[in-house]
Amino acid sequence: MTMARKDMALISLVALGALLMFASSAKQIGAGRAAVGPLAPAKPLGPPITLEQVKDAGLSLREAMYYDKLPDGLVRCRLCPSECILAHGQRGPCKVRANFNGTLRTLVFGRPVALASDPIEKKPLFHVLPGSIAFSLSTVGCNLGCIFCQNWETSQLAPEEGQHRLMIGAAHRRFPDIVTSTDEVTPAQLVALAEATGASSIAYTYTEASIYYEYMLETAKLARAKGIKNLWVTCGYLNPKPLRELCKYIDAANVDLKGYSEEFYQTYCKASVEPVLRTLKVLKEEGVWFEITNLVIPDANDDPEMVRKMCKWIVKELGPDYPLHFSRFYPAYRLTDRPPTPLATLKRCGEIAREEGIHFVYIGNVPEAPDLENTFCPNCKKLLIRRRGFRVDENYIKNGKCPYCNTPTPGIFPK
């Protein structure tokens, strides 16, 4: 493929992602009424679904991983801490894992609703192959219930609404030699798309990648064999057993630590904080590089004392070298009663993080202050990477080290 064709492919895939977001934004989001979950507070199950609906919508009936068969045709999903118990035709809050006749099925294997080529800085991953392209994908669905979700147009959709058909059809028209049908995009085809577009990595992103676990895992295995890095962008709400299996194939992760209190998680996310903290510790144990994002929401998780406690925990349990991204909140989904996060609040969060000893602190989603996303050596304090939005303007890191004082810069950098 020539460079011109690669450029066209990148533009095309970004356009496909934008098309999907535009189309899905017109959808109305529904909610169920039932509830289940031993760790999380009560949250609604997805609406019931029939096999006829699944077939009519062209969804997957691949058997899911990590579940128990129970008496009377019930199943208990063991993928995430909600551990939903489902009867025939029921599905969890994620809306994408359903019980049919005592077998748990994933409805979204091979059914992406977004395919795009992104700067890796968009994930955000600032210490992983700076300036490179990440081939990015998602299906619908999420296993949390965040009322402030910034990607609610896709995370809150049900798979039978059919957005995957738009994306698969568009991908088939653009890359007919790779995406050979309009029914699905297989893991092997995802890897081929990443290769065709010149991506250095594949990012499982946009919604919550954990809920399309089987699709992600199989793709990650194939990508690893081809020398393509795997990036997991996640809320971190995953049980230890599937997490440790995933860690065998994931190179880097960005974990949303949405707040540092159980009250915040229950009120705003319909979830619990402890599983997320556990995920961060497991990633460290398994040697997976990760960065942390904290969306700072006015009058919710922006209390300086909460931020300080969070930073103290990070330094104590994880160490000072994992980057922390504070990101500006914008009113979205069901949380529209407050303004965007003031820049002064974000700067104060950054000051607290540095006071507590975190070496790499970034403030994002603030186009008026791009210098807050630059990387500096924690030893000699000199500039290592200058960024403008998602673009890397200057990168002085050599062989993973500061060129001025030879201090290693933690992360994944070209050798």
Residues 6+ apart with CB under 8 A from 295: 148, 150, 256, 258, 301, 327, 328, 329
pLDDT for the residue numbered 225: 98
Q: Which is it for strands 324-328 and 85-86: parallel, antiparallel or unpaired? A: unpaired
What's the CA gap between 364 and 325, in Å, rounded?
7
Nearest partner of 107 among 151, 138, 140, 76, judged by Cα: 140
End-to-end CA distance of the chain: 26
Residue with tokens 């069901």: 334
| pLDDT tens-place string over residues 192-232 | 999 999 999 999 999 999 999 999 999 999 999 999 999 99
Q: What confidence score (pLDDT) does residue 44 get?
A: 78
Question: Averaged over 93-101, what is the pLDDT?
Answer: 97
Written as one string, the DSSP assignment of 52-107 is: HHHHHTT---EEPSSEEE-GGG-EEE-SSTT--EE-TT-B-TTSSEEEETTEEEES
| pLDDT value of position 43 | 66
- In this structure, whether the domain defined by 114-373 belongs to CATH 3.20.20.70 is answered with yes
Task: Copy the structure tokens of residue 67.
Answer: 């579940």
The 10s digit of each residue's pLDDT in 14-72 is 445 444 443 333 333 233 323 333 444 446 788 999 999 999 999 999 999 999 999 99
- Rounded to two decimals, what is the model's pTM? 0.91
Residue 400 confidence (pLDDT): 97
- Supply the pLDDT for residue 415: 82
Q: Are 246 and 141 in contact (CB under 8 A)?
A: no
Q: What is the DSSP letter of 158?
A: -
What does the domain layout of the chain look like in residue ranges? 51-106, 114-373
Give the CB-side neighbour count of residue 71, counting CA atoms within 13 A: 0
